[in-house]
Amino acid sequence: MMPVIAVVGPTASGKSDLGLALAERIGGEVINADSMQLYRGMDIGTAKLTVSERRGVPHHQLDVLDVTQEASVARYQRAARADVDAIRARGNVPVFVGGSGLYIRAALDRLDIPPTDPKVRAAIEAEATEQGAPAVYARLRAADPEAARHIQPNNVRRVVRAIEVIELTGMPFSATMPTRRFVTPAVMLGLRLEQAALDDRIERRVERMWEQGLQAETKRLLHHGLRDGATASHAIGYRQAIAVLDAVIGGVEARDDTAQATRRFARRQQAWFRRDPRIAWLDALAPDVLDEAIRVIRQAIPDIESGRLREDG
């Protein structure tokens, strides 16, 4: 069975380019693993490849949600695994590309998604609103210290979800966390680069997004209900653009805040992926990064079909 390939790493590290090049080289189809690229119309602010930039390579899990819908790990797991089966049935290689660590784990690892209840969640969300994020985080820490250790205190959405699962199942949320066991053969490739270089790429990406019309894109999305989207409205860049449109902050402050928030997000991504010993790390800036990726795949799968991988393109 042809393995699944996953290209992971922090934002702005070059995952989309490498994933696309790999798919072209090995006869693959790309499955998006960036939670914000699931949304229709959220293009500039997520650095989504345009149709022409995809160079004819099929891409899946892009533009599958309206901005008013909530992104769900459970929905993504079902859809992404169905994509894997369909791609393999066509004789092609599934290539996951993205930096949403939990989505990658949900697609590739043994992970049973626990139940949800809108009423229970709403009550916990109301508690978080009334008492503040530190209060609900303290509640989680008391109920499940292990889960609290893996969740950022200011990530209210995940804190609420953890408490919801504890209430519904009577079990620690940490017991539902994914184990590092693939459900299907997989090779994970990670892109790394020096922090200063990554920060510089983030600065240039943010500048480019605003120049390309992030504010205008956000204005259009507001007409489609972006402000009411439980997930989409909090996306980095869009949140700041909304503040500009609401005359809460100015454009320069919004760009600076977007860059700072993106740098923090990138550091969280790096910390998440560094914990996974299965990832083979590649120098993102190396001119031969594609050939290095091919060599890693060859080493991991020595009996791969003849002719499928070619180091010389």
What is the tens place of the pLDDT at every residue in 11-24?
999 999 999 999 99
Whether 57 and 171 share a structural domain: no
Whether 157 and 277 share a structural domain: no
In a domain, 307, yes or no: no
Whether 145 and 232 share a structural domain: no
The total domain count for the chain is 2
Residue 189 host element (H or E): strand 186-192
The predicted structure's pLDDT at residue 308:
57
Q: Is the pLDDT of residue 312 over 70?
A: no
- Minimal CA–CA distance to 46: which of 271, 205, 266? 205
Whether 104 and 125 share a structural domain: no
Place of tokens 């049973």: 112
Whether 45 and 73 share a structural domain: yes
Whether 105 and 10 share a structural domain: yes
Mean pLDDT of the chain: 93
Domain residue limits at 270: 4-111+183-300
Alpha carbon 127 to chain centroid distance? 28
- Tell me the Ramachandran region of residue 69: left when phi exceeds 0, alpha when psi lies from -120 to 50, beta otherwise: beta
Alpha carbon 37 to chain centroid distance? 8
Mean of pLDDT values over 65-81: 95
**CA–CA distance, 153 with 174 (Å, rounded to integer):** 15
In a domain, 313, yes or no: no
Looking at this protein, which amino acid is placed at residue 85? D
Q: Is the pLDDT of residue 93 over 60?
A: yes
In a domain, 310, yes or no: no
Pick the last residue of a domain from 138, 158, 175: 175
In a domain, 166, yes or no: yes
Whether 206 and 271 share a structural domain: yes
Q: Is the pLDDT of residue 232 over 50?
A: yes
Whether 87 and 218 share a structural domain: yes
In a domain, 279, yes or no: yes
Residues 276-306: tens digit of each pLDDT: 999 999 999 999 999 999 999 988 876 554 4
Whether 136 and 204 share a structural domain: no
**CA–CA distance, 160 with 122 (Å, rounded to integer):** 9
Residues 185-211: tens digit of each pLDDT: 999 999 999 999 999 999 999 999 999
Q: How confident is the model at residue 309 (pLDDT cuts 50, 70, 90)?
A: low
Residues 28-59: tens digit of each pLDDT: 999 999 999 999 999 999 999 999 999 999 99
In a domain, 31, yes or no: yes
In a domain, 308, yes or no: no
Whether 207 and 267 share a structural domain: yes
pTM (global) more than 0.75: yes
What CATH number does the domain containing 127 carry?
Answer: 1.10.20.140
**CA–CA distance, 141 with 22 (Å, rounded to integer):** 42
In a domain, 72, yes or no: yes
Pick the last residue of a domain from 175, 196, 218: 175
**CA–CA distance, 5 with 31 (Å, rounded to integer):** 10
Whether 15 and 158 share a structural domain: no
The predicted structure's pLDDT at residue 40:
97
> Terminal CA-to-CA distance of the chain, rounded, Å?
22
What CATH number does the domain containing 247 carry?
Answer: 3.40.50.300
Mean of pLDDT values over 159-180: 88
The predicted structure's pLDDT at residue 115:
82
Q: Is the pLDDT of residue 175 over 90?
A: no
Whether 125 and 72 share a structural domain: no
Q: Is the pLDDT of residue 150 over 90?
A: no
